Structure 1
């Protein structure tokens, strides 16, 4: 796809969707040789082979696989000047073994920093919920033990039930103070539901337990 713009220039759409100035239909241009450019990015060094008549935008796509930076996150400088995506390498004087400097776009750095902080916060929340889930599971095991004892007709001291309810409520308060987002909200809700079920079970067991009679086991001894 091509079109003619102001100033007599012709433009073409590259496969990647980039609009660049159309090259002349010169057979020698069509067989443009490759050049190896040396790109410095911080303490890292890259050497990339690219057609001499490629654009800086196309070079960025090649560098994306090397650096992990998306083309929109890259800024390419040649001879101390930032080059636009539609500029051609050879037109800007890029030759074999030319040196370029790659930096990350400041706005991209800021987004990356925000994403890192958010991920760190999520990981911290996951650890907090996981640690709490261990404690909740221990309390749930105690609830199950009391439930079995009462179902077998054995009365348990009421203080055991009330203490267990208090411990579960403390966990509920701690859980409620943990800020969550994303999938951690679901994990938090799972633990909150487990605590609620345990408390409701203990409330029912408390009533059942109060109706049980303490069984006193005695032994009769015969004299011989």
Structure 2
């Protein structure tokens, strides 16, 4: 989508290094996140989530529970420099194949972001989505109280759902939850015009609504 090089790249890189250093000694807190997400996702029918990477909060238990409760779960697939595509989770999280350079667990990608959000696509088995996406879970290394996000640096979520992305979510009514550990909510983060902002932050302790951005 032709974004300019980030003006805050050095500041963001420094934050990433610090958060990753601290995450190296953490556990995934899967049960704690499952408890918090059960309430956050209670009214969801179709949600975009993700398979956690090493060091990220473990969402497997929460996503398996969501699927068992009849919710449809979509997971992203990555291609460098391109918006995310999505596939329907049709198995327990532990059975997903690991794909590509980063060995990310992902289903077969059958949906563009626009198709997923509109509910117009289908799974690899040809089943149509039961409804448009109503909830998106977004990974982050840190979030600010205003909902600004520090991602891993690939730009996938900004390129897909951010204000300059392929399928912007601002103003759509879709609930966007950032996921991080509680102590990774920090007062301020460097940000750019194309950054995705979340509406709430789910941690292992609570769900924190974000405040109005400045």
Q: Tell me the TM-score normalized by structure 1.
A: 0.18
Larger-Rg structure: 1
> In proportion to residue count, which structure has more helix?
1
For CA contacts below 8 A with separation 6 or more, give which structure has more relative contact order: 2
Tell me the TM-score normalized by structure 2: 0.19
